[in-house]
A and B are shown apart, each in its own frame.
Chain A
């Protein structure tokens, strides 16, 4: 190896350590006894210091099962809504020529530049008016609305690349426009759908603002809000706090490792465009 390559590796390893060590310290110390957390914070958990007391406290306090289910329901249903409505709208915008096509597209994509949180005052008013406060429905509606702009934007680009001959062949064979969308267009944009899914899923799962404002009740809390409140309550119980943090990191890391190839390919492909 040349000296330049060695220097490059040294710099990259150093930064990788900066990125990963904080997470590692938290997970590592969550597996230790209280005394060891403070006495030897940098040591790996060993036979004398291994202790699961943090995890038993978290699991005994209950709630986390419910929070986890809530997060899962909200994320999956929002994702389903974004992908279904987004791909339908994208298909219409890419496929048909009609008056107001460009304007409709611009209108739907406006939301990419405007954070939905700025409308919070109005959203809360709307949810109070329709008795949706403290329901998961409120969160799902908000996340679908906030995820649609970027989904429509990305999917329209991909829908435009589907060959007209294929669709016209379908029409000659007597397929309706709905069947063409479902049987011909959707399967062809599946890679784009999975990219959009991964992109929109992360901010929904991690959001704190809307759960805090629209659904703070105990039965509708999401995992992000639940962890925040739990940690706030147990702030002096370091074992419990570290265990709660580790438990919230775990699902994200597992998902990331499963999908990282897709995600990274999606980011780079989008950028090259």
Chain B
């Protein structure tokens, strides 16, 4: 959209209605989202001493990175966050596979499968987290008897209670919940590929699996890239799932602690430790910078290399 030419602007009378239309959205958005966000960024370079804010520069960040009281928790949470994101990426191949099957021509019941597989996406983390906690509980026999029915009972372990498997299990639960999103978006991208393109491939003798990998998959890479960056941003909302299943302490022994739960504990305190708004703001600022870096890398490095095709 280009701004009006100076001549056009001068000829027009004042237009108060533009302000009336824009004001409510801008006011609420600025007051409740943008200002608090900047306030949070500001607090991260201050420290509250005797009820007065004192500017401390990068000291809070220094404490977060290197001070033993904070740094263990921070690096641990950051590492777990990266692992959690990598496990979540499993949703892409599964989603693409399901979408490819759904997009097969003349497949009956496609709408039913789509509706059913997308359903878990709508449930809250509270339902999903507690539901899986019950199902995986060694007290209740659902998971062991199900595995027993297919002769794999020896595979069962209290996955959520073990340090080395809890985070992976939570990542897979998240995949189970959100696989509908890549499935749906890839399905939409696949069915919008024009028939002429597929016909041309068939004339050249490219059919079946080969056609999928050589023709269709390259065409949906931009969609997959978009899903990945949205998952990356949404990753920082995984607090709910971990809080519900493992509590604010992200047990066992902080093995499922991610930046979201760390922010909650730092800001509000837990057990004997008091909450600390400035350190909380510092953690939030780090999350902000990581998201910003991720989005920039995506926009400037990844998205430009993905070829887009106009049909």
Contacts and interface: CB of A to CB of B under 8 A. Distances in A.
Contact of B1 (A101, A122, A145): A101
Interface residues of B, number: 92
A272 B223 CA distance: 10
A86 B8 CA distance: 27
Interface string B233-271: 110110110011000000000000000100100011000
A256 interface: yes
B29 interface: yes
A32 B33 CA distance: 46
B62 interface: no
A114 B290 CA distance: 11
B267 A114 contact: no
A104 to B, nearest CB: 7
A41 to B, nearest CB: 5
B7 to A, nearest CB: 12
Given A126-B32, A248-B126, A15 B98 contact: yes
Contacts of A108: 25-26, 29
A161 B234 CA distance: 30
Q: Interface residues of B: mostly helix, strand, loop or mixed?
A: helix
Given A42-B142, A114-B288, A122-B40, A145 B28 contact: yes
Interface stretch (B67-75, B81-89, B113-121): B113-121
B281 A121 contact: yes
B127 A241 contact: no
Interface of B: 1-4, 8-9, 15, 17-18, 20-22, 24-26, 28-29, 31-40, 43, 94, 97-98, 101-102, 104, 107, 109, 113-120, 122-127, 130-132, 134-135, 139-142, 145-146, 176, 179-180, 184-185, 187-189, 191-192, 223, 233-234, 236-237, 239-240, 243-244, 260, 263, 267-268, 277, 280-281, 284, 287-288, 291, 295
A177 B25 contact: no
B139 to A, nearest CB: 8
A253 interface: yes
26 contacts: A16-B113, A19-B117, A23-B119, A41-B140, A42-B142, A85-B24, A89-B24, A91-B21, A97-B2, A99-B3, A101-B1, A108-B26, A110-B34, A113-B295, A115-B237, A121-B281, A144-B28, A145-B28, A206-B122, A212-B243, A228-B244, A231-B130, A242-B134, A249-B127, A257-B115, A268-B191
